[in-house]
Amino acid sequence: MTVIEANRSATAALRRIDELPGPRGLPWLGNMFQIEPKRFHLQLEQWCRDFGAMFHLRTGSHRILVVADHALVAAILRDRPDGFRRTVKLEKIGLEMGLPPGVFGASGDAWRAQRRMVMAGFDPAHVKGYFPSLLQVAQRLRGRWQKAAREQQSIDLQADLMRYTVDAIAGLAFGAEVNTLESDDDVIQQHLDKIFPALGRRLLAPLPLWRWWRSAADRQLEQSLVEVKAAVAGFIAQARDRLVAEPELRVHPRNLLEAMIVAADAPDSGITDVQVAGNVLTMLLAGEDTTANTLAWTIHLLWRHPAALARAIEEVRQVAGDPAALTLEQLGQLDYVEACVHETMRLKPVAPIMPLQALHDQNVGNVHVPAGTVVISLLRRDSVSDEHLPRAASFEPERWLAGEGGPGQIASSAKRISMPFGAGPRICPGRYLALLEMKMALAVLLGGFELTEVDTPDGAEARERLAFAMSPVGLSMRLAERATMSP
């Protein structure tokens, strides 16, 4: 019996996937032409309300199982890499695009070897050593926002945060001086921005039109991939040159890439330079998109909840003091700010769906899942249900602080149900670094500025758009410099 089977009574009658309810599709084609890629997660959540926590979709002759029960979702995520893997379609499209393989899409023994290498670089002790580089990038962000505040300019929030995360991951992960925050020539960011959306579109496209006819966007994507892979090759070459020039770096690497190369060069590591390149690219893409989107959602939600914003501001200004001289110890004391980030990830997870593929026949709950079946996990359904958390639709960061907002079990329930970084052996290796980046940016913002406006084009709640990751649409921000922090 698998872990997933154990979550349901063995006496329950097994069902086939096609016996489950689901949205009505077209003859032969099923639901493939009903899918709206930019809001697919919202469609799945609506169908979940219509048909229950387990339902099915059909694309041509293929049956897809959709699971929203958090206990089953957690069991599925923990049953990797042996029971489930990333989908074959994702791997195929990634290779077709020319993306070098990395730990994100790897399976089996290849995943295990790469995971060891990546975890060596993301060890918390190493990440702490990269803190001065992160602080330097944060001060560039502060300078950019000071200029916008003095000139009373509206800030494209998501664009600025993506500049911040690109600069941070390039410096921390690769020891590379990529400075998009102080330049409008943000070449690498413009190229990176095309990759995840293209991957998302192709995964959900009913027909692979790009294989038969290359659009202008397809040609731009190909050029962007050439530029990004050249940049990645440059990062690796520079890191190898540093390791030759300074052999002591093999014992005390200064960044994630150096640590990965040292791990890859170990005897019997099984890691090639192609796989190192794949993981460099993975960190660039994931480090830019997911962290920037979560930060944008956090700022949006704080603005719409003045009491939470006031408490976060008070904590930053009492604990962190001068945002130009932040320390790792001060960031570690920003408990309420971190709770705001966790609450944001509960309400606005940037990865609201997780498609995986069964490696062998097994049962999910009381549903039989044949090998090769795609299973889509919905990560938000139970996180925003009053059946599992009180006032689940509300933004209440206090629920993440034991002893506040109710009994201590509320905090543990929220942690158990909300899984923004995944779960099990394949939980996101960069979660510690991501939280550090987010707390740093929020400390710079709340410690050095007064928010005068965070808005959308129509003044309403920010709309959600899925482009592999889920992002807010059209957020802008206006700031005034905090008087006591002006130079």
Contact 68, 53 (CB under 8 A): yes
pTM of this prediction? 0.89
Only one residue has tokens 């050095």, namely 448
- Omega of the bond leading into 81 within 30 degrees of 0 (cis): yes
Instruction: Dump pLDDT digits (tens) for 227-269.
Output: 888 888 888 888 899 999 999 988 888 777 887 788 888 887 7
Give the pLDDT mean for 186-195.
Answer: 75
Pairing of strands 469-472, 464-467: antiparallel
The 3-state secondary structure of 141-191 reads: HHHHHHHHHHCCCCEEHHHHHHHHHHHHHHHHHHCCCCCCCCCCCCHHHHH
Is pLDDT of 165 > 70? Answer: yes
DSSP, residue by residue, 59-88: ETTEEEEEE--HHHHHHHHHTTTTTEEE-H
What angle (nearest 5°) sits at the alpha carbon of residue 300, between those of residues 296 and 301?
Answer: 120
Res 5: pLDDT: 52
CB of 336 closer than 8 Å to CB of 312: yes
pLDDT digits (tens, 9 = 90+) for 348-375: 999 999 999 999 999 999 999 999 999 9
* Domain layout of the chain by residue ranges: 84-352+391-485
Token pair, residue 79, equals 């049953």
Q: Say which residue, 383 or 484, is predicted with more confidence.
A: 383
| Overall average pLDDT of the 214-225 stretch | 90
Phi, psi of 352 (to 5 degrees): -75, -15
The residues that bridge with 358 in the sheet, in sequence order, are: 84
Average pLDDT, the chain: 86
Supply the CATH classification number for the domain 84-352+391-485: 1.10.630.10
Who wins on pLDDT, 88 or 430? 88
Higher-pLDDT residue of 107 and 12 is: 107
- Give every CB contact of residue 309 below 8 A, 6+ residues apart in sequence: 302, 303, 451
What pLDDT band is residue 184 in, cutting at 50, 70 and 90? low
At 433, list the tokens: 């670094």
In this predicted structure, what is the pLDDT of residue 460?
A: 85
Residue 230 class from Cβ within 10 Å (0-12 exposed, 13-18 middle, 19+ buried)? exposed
Cβ neighbors of 457 (< 8 A, separation 6 or more) are: 474
Residue 315 region by backbone torsions, left for phi larger than 0, else alpha for psi between -120 and 50, else beta: alpha
The enclosing H or E element of 113 equals helix 108-121
